Structure 1
Amino acid sequence: MSVLVTGTAGFIGSHVAQRLLARGERVIGLDNLNDYYDVALKRARLARFIEHPHYTHLQIDLADRAAMEHAFATYRPQRVAHLAAQAGVRYAAQNPHVYVSSNVTGFLHILEGCRQHLVEHLVFASTSSVYGANTDMPFSEHRSAEHPLTLYAATKKANEQMAHSYAHLYGIPCTGLRFFTVYGPWGRPDMALFLFTEAILKGEPIKVFNHGRHKRSFTYIDDIVEGVLRTLDAVPAKDPRWDSLAPDPACSGVAPYRLFNIGNERPVELMQYIDVLEQCLGRKATMEMLPLQAGDVPDTEADVTSLIQTVGYRPQVSIETGIDNFVRWYLDYYGT
């Protein structure tokens, strides 16, 4: 099978590409290698598989319409795992146009490529951030999420609605995955675990927002990748129940469209997360306690019942194992 994976120099995309190659698929990888964070880390991720005989790499910006049209026409992927985006909740406050260009215009180019070349299935990354002001937990994709609190979340909510419209109009099977706080080896330097580890090793204080009282559905990268691959293989169809039920945000009777949460069902308090990191590093953290940041939600908790029922997905990796794996990778990669 030929699979276009966007964001293959990124955290999740690089892991997904590697797993697809390991199971024998042909992967067309796409990434613009922007400098939002360390490009050397992105290149190091790519170096793990860029020479694989079944891998083709394209350095393209999603917002470049002509380049995207050429990529689809040349390589004609059977399926697409769209994992590229301008990431980072807070970066959007200073660079809003970048988010719309990459996450909205870029996603339109993905949808158009799928339409023009009869792609069998599009799986795309959304985010738990779309739940925004919602306080009804655990967060369920079967309930409305109409009040995102950041531009990043708003662009991802727009992706979900754009995908449904294309699924309806053109019959493109589309599946959106709302990721919950992903961590692990080769992670992003702007994420808490990376920042905490770097600061603790340097003897610098870590910034603990909301005084460490919030909880997150921290999800290890291997569990996320397993869910992505299982979902990619489960092509959705119209849900015939829609005619007799109230409209459901997660599925549709008029389109081959599904929306799933993908995350750990067991949320962990930030202070426990930090405690496990301290144990793995063998060092104590100096903490600067701060209020909740603008746009952040106090807690997240994933209801993944639908994903379990549909593809048999259930996270397996504990935070103790996951954080230890990250620390071992970090010390090896940076030689600390």
Structure 2
Amino acid sequence: MKILVTGAAGFIGFFVAKSLLDQGHTVVGLDNINDYYDINLKYDRLKELGIEKNDAEIFNNLASSSTYENFSFIRLALEDRENLPLLFKAEAFDKVCNLAAQAGVRYSIENPEVYVDSNVVGFLNILECCRNYNIKHLVYASSSSVYGLNEKIPFETSDAVDHPISLYAATKKSNELMAHTYAHLYGFKTTGLRFFTVYGPWGRPDMAMFLFTDAIVNNKPIKVFNNGKLERDFTYIDDITEGVVRIIQKPIVKESDKENLFKIYNIGNSKSVKLMDFITAIEESLGTTAKKDMYPMQPGDVERTWANVDDLIADYDYRPNTPIKSGVQQFVDWYKTYYGPLT
């Protein structure tokens, strides 16, 4: 198949694009390479896929990969209403995997406008292109943050998600509502994936895994919110990638099967890990103890996340299962390789 992967220079998008390429699909990667975090990390991910920095910096022009003959890349923003349809028209994609978004719960409190531009306006443009250019299946990233103040544990996709507590979460819920509307009106399949605290090699520098490791290595204190009384369903990147790719590759339902045109799945490790245990795993991997500064709960955060993945098991025979210690060690090993030997 020919598949558009948006957010291809991002953490999850990079791994999904690589996995699809390794399985022989033709992939066009799209990313706007914004400066929310170090753009050099984004360029280095693209370099792993055979796209050089100079080629990636050219807007609205497809660059060919030197590593994968079936991969090309375009630097383009989802909210570009003029050029995005031209890309769809020229490339005739079979499926679209939309992983591009402005990420980060706390950043959404400080910069709300960019979340609406990318996550709402940009997603609408994706939906419009899908309906106008006969896309068979749209797979898109949602987030566990949509569960918000939900107190029922573990989180199930059938739970009400009416109380998001960050603008980021609100934009992700809006994506699900918009996808439902387009699936109903125009008869193409949409599948939303609620990711649970993704971590691993090539991860985002604003995520806990990276922040903690970087601080410990540089002998700086780590910020521990809610005095450490937090739990997260930490999910290793390979498990997320496997789930996404399985859903992209599975044959779609018939258009007459209206009930299955819109689907939502949790992708999480289906275990809730205490934040202090997560920190201990990092300390053990680094062979040192972290200096810890305790802070109160941050606006937009929740105390606990935990995914029920029964639907994923039933429909795709898949359950993420990487143990936290193994995943943390693999991140630390990558960090040492990417940034050089630790002093």
TM bucket, shorter chain = over 0.9
Q: Within 2, Cα distance between the matches of 1:166 and 1:234?
A: 21
Cα offset for 1:210? 1.1
Q: Which residue of 1 aligns with 2:14?
A: 14
Q: Within 1, Cα distance between the matches of 2:251 and 2:158?
A: 19
Q: Within 2, Cα distance between the matches of 1:238 and 1:190?
A: 41
Q: Which residue of 1 aligns with 2:226?
A: 210
Indicate conservation of the 8 Å contact 1:265/1:303, yes or no. yes
- Structure 1 gap segments, 5+ residues each: 241-251
Matches within 5 A, 1:6-85: 6-49=6-49, 50=51, 51=65, 52-85=68-101
What letter corresponds to residue 209 of structure 2 in structure 1? L
Decide which moves more: 231-240 or 166-175: 231-240
Q: Which residue of 2 aligns with 1:309?
A: 314
Q: Which residue of 2 aligns with 1:267?
A: 272
Q: Within 1, Cα distance between the matches of 2:169 and 2:21?
A: 31
Matches within 5 A, 1:1-336: 1-49=1-49, 50=51, 51=65, 52-235=68-251, 237=253, 254=259, 256-335=261-340, 336=342
Residue deviations 1:286-319, cap 9 Å, x none? Answer: 1011111111000000000001100011112111
Residue deviations 1:99-154, cap 9 Å, x none? Answer: 00000000011101110111111000000000001111100001211110000000
Cα offset for 1:239? 11
Q: Which residue of 2 aligns with 1:249?
A: none
Indicate conservation of the 8 Å contact 1:77/1:119, yes or no. yes
Indicate conservation of the 8 Å contact 1:260/1:306, yes or no. yes
Q: Which residue of 2 aligns with 1:244?
A: none
Indicate conservation of the 8 Å contact 2:2/2:26, yes or no. yes
What letter corresponds to residue 185 of structure 1 in structure 2? P
Q: Within 2, Cα distance between the matches of 1:180 and 1:217?
A: 6
Indicate conservation of the 8 Å contact 2:78/2:123, yes or no. yes
Cα offset for 1:233? 2.1
Q: Within 2, Cα distance between the matches of 1:162 and 1:23?
A: 31
Q: Within 2, Cα distance between the matches of 1:218 and 1:329?
A: 18
SS in 1 for 2:8: coil
Q: Within 1, Cα distance between the matches of 2:24 and 2:38?
A: 30
TM-score calculated relative to the size of structure 1: 0.94
Q: Within 1, Cα distance between the matches of 2:261 and 2:174?
A: 18
Indicate conservation of the 8 Å contact 2:270/2:308, yes or no. yes
Cα offset for 1:197? 0.5
SS in 2 for 1:165: helix
Q: Within 2, Cα distance between the matches of 1:254 and 1:220?
A: 31
SS in 1 for 2:105: coil
Indicate conservation of the 8 Å contact 2:253/2:260, yes or no. yes
Percent identity over the alignment is 53
What letter corresponds to residue 313 of structure 1 in structure 2? Y
Decide which moves more: 32-41 or 206-215: 206-215
Indicate conservation of the 8 Å contact 2:187/2:255, yes or no. no
Q: Within 2, Cα distance between the matches of 1:334 and 1:96?
A: 32
Q: Within 1, Cα distance between the matches of 2:317 and 2:132?
A: 32
Residue deviations 1:69-88, cap 9 Å, x none? Answer: 11101111100110000001
Q: Within 2, Cα distance between the matches of 1:18 and 1:37?
A: 21
Indicate conservation of the 8 Å contact 1:238/1:257, yes or no. no
- Structure 2 gap segments, 5+ residues each: 52-64
Number of corresponding residues = 325
Cα offset for 1:255? 6.0
Q: Within 1, Cα distance between the matches of 2:88 and 2:118?
A: 17
SS in 1 for 2:82: helix
